[in-house]
Amino acid sequence: MSASFRFIAAATALLYTLIYVVWRLLLLSPLYERWWPLQLSEVFGSWVYAPLGLLLALALVARSRWALYALIAPTLFFGVEYGRQFLPNQHIMPVYANSGLPVRVLTWNMHYTADPYDEFHSFVAELKPDVIALQELSLRMTRRFGETLRETYPHQALHTGSHTGGLALLSRYPVRVAPSPARPFICQCLVVEADIEGRTATFIVVHIWRPSIQFELQESFLGVQQFSYRYQTPVFDQLLQQMETVDGPLVVLGDFNTTERQPNYRRLRTQLEDAFGQAGWGMGYTFPSNARLRGWRVPPLIRIDHILISRDWQAKAAWTGGLPPSDHNYVAADLVLRP
């Protein structure tokens, strides 16, 4: 292998790592709170690892030790942050796996303008979830699901808000809407208690506002002018207040409009585990699921739909998938109550 090729491999790897390290340091600096582009960069932060595989392959082909040395830091960070999601799902302990039947949980933002009844009905009949959490449930869909799914899911809790604020939880298990110390319209949540295997499990269905984003038309493209968590953070404050009242198994699920790298998500993770991070495979991106650019389909770019679980639960499996009418992928998980 030529010396020039090894030099290119080493220089490219070093430049990438330098940019990566500077970015990580800026995220930890006081500048993060004052400079909104840094906050926005964290939304898509998982994509900073996209060149890593190619650069590692280049370093191996070039047989460049310096390139491999340069890539150690980002490779270790990727392993810590996402490595578990690329390993075979063999970490669940048999005592939990065999302690009872898994509870199959599904969450999906339906998109209020869509009419997904036929696709959703067929999908549910095949997947057979035990608990279904829905967001952006329109009044029309509320009536249709209430009538047609009542036999399979006799226990239903519905919250019909604005045209994008409808929430629902459909269950095979007996449920009741729980009292909420948080203000529901600010919390943007539906709190339901279910009787599962003789234990009371709380499900909080959420559809949280997205961060405040201002766009500006710049010549031939749309640019971001401002990005802020100003209106979103109080919603998470209310949600955390609601979570503090729960004693026992807890599942918080829905459309969080927040990726796994953002501060408000990390606040929830101090108390909850991410079912997909625990038992899913790959990155599990959920949004946007139906985007197109010049006629070409654009794959989902971020994961903003989550199933978060207390330590009373163990995720046995988790996965995502798409249903055509919505711009969100669904998230599903098989959960087992720890004894």
Query: Is the preceding omega at residue 30 within 30 degrees of 0, hence cis?
Result: no
Nearest to 203 by CA among 279, 101, 131, 269: 131
Closest among 339, 283, 276 to 311, alpha carbons compared: 339
**Contact assessment for residue 321 and residue 331, using Cβ atoms and an 8 Å cutoff:** no
User: The pTM is what?
Assistant: 0.92
pLDDT value at position 174? 96
pLDDT given for residue 95 in this prediction: 43
Residues of the chain with pLDDT under 50: 91-98
- Angstrom distance (rounded) from CA 136 to CA 141: 10
* Per-residue confidence (pLDDT) for residue 119, from 0 to 100: 81
Angle at 275 between CA 271 and CA 278, to 5 degrees: 95
Query: Tokens for 170?
Result: 């459909």
Buried b or exposed e, range 273-300, using 16+ CB within 10 angstroms? bbbbbbbbbebbbbbbbbeeeeeeeeeb
pLDDT of residue 185: 61
Distances (CA, A) of 175 to 157, 168, 191: 8, 12, 10
Other beta carbons within 10 Å of 195: 14
The three-class DSSP label of residue 337 is strand
Indicate the pairing of strand 199-207 with strand 250-255.
parallel
pLDDT of amino acid 93: 44
